[in-house]
Structure 1
Amino acid sequence: MDRDIRLKRLHFRSHHRGTKEADLLIGGFFDSAHARWSDAEIALFEELIEEQDVDIMAWAIGMEPAPERYAGSIVEALKQLNYVPVAK
């Protein structure tokens, strides 16, 4: 599949998770990081996005360790939480 099509699909799936909190966390992360991803990182995010929102959110805030297969640059960047917009 073409890289642009994959990214458009991931953009939609990242922003339409089912809860506002997951949309902000996962969608905000996608928006801030996807332009730098290699094809391997895109593939990893495609796998990650299939996980349950509560699990992804727990990995991001450090409540649970991420599975070994997700360890690396994407999960480490997800843990930074500097991509979540904060209303003032």
Structure 2
Amino acid sequence: MTETRETRIKRMKMRSMRRGIKEMDIILQAYAERNLDAMDDAGLDRYDALLHENDQDLYQWVTGQVAPPAPFEDLISDIAQTFQK
């Protein structure tokens, strides 16, 4: 059975706020709440893939300590800007 869009977004919002590292919980929860509902399917696919990445890596990418991999560059930049707002 395929997930509905609504269920998928709810799942990703939950995964965004239950990461393991409190800093990433805060950053990704804020981003998810502000952006997931408006994303197209390709954007949701990219964000879903990002949620499978390691928190330590994500934190370094979002804070600019390490450059993110090419497939995530734009998304990480958007997350970092959302968090700074």
- Tell me the TM-score normalised to structure 2 length: 0.86
Letter in 2 for 1:77: D
How far residue 69 of structure 1 moved from its aligned partner, in angstroms, is: 1.4
In structure 1, the residue corresponding to 2:26 is in which secondary structure? helix
Give distance in 2, aligned partners of 1:58 and 1:82.
Answer: 15
Q: 1:1-88, aligned counterparts within 5 Å?
A: 1-72=3-74, 74-80=75-81, 81-82=83-84
Give distance in 2, aligned partners of 1:63 and 1:32.
Answer: 24
Give distance in 1, aligned partners of 2:38 and 2:84.
Answer: 16
Task: Describe the superposition over 1:19-78 as per-residue Cα deviations: whole angstroms up to 9, x where unpaired.
Answer: 221210111111122122111010000000000111111111111111011122x22211
Q: Is the 8 A contact 2:9 2:37 kept in 1?
A: no
Q: Which runs of 4+ in 1 moved over 2 A?
A: none
The percent identity for this pair of structures is: 26
| Unmatched 5+ stretches in structure 1 | 84-88
**Count of aligned pairs between the two proteins:** 82
In structure 2, the residue corresponding to 1:17 is in which secondary structure? coil
The equivalent residue for 1:86 is none
| Unmatched 5+ stretches in structure 2 | none
Letter in 1 for 2:5: R
Give distance in 2, aligned partners of 1:36 and 1:64.
Answer: 28
Q: Is the 8 A contact 1:22 1:53 kept in 2?
A: yes
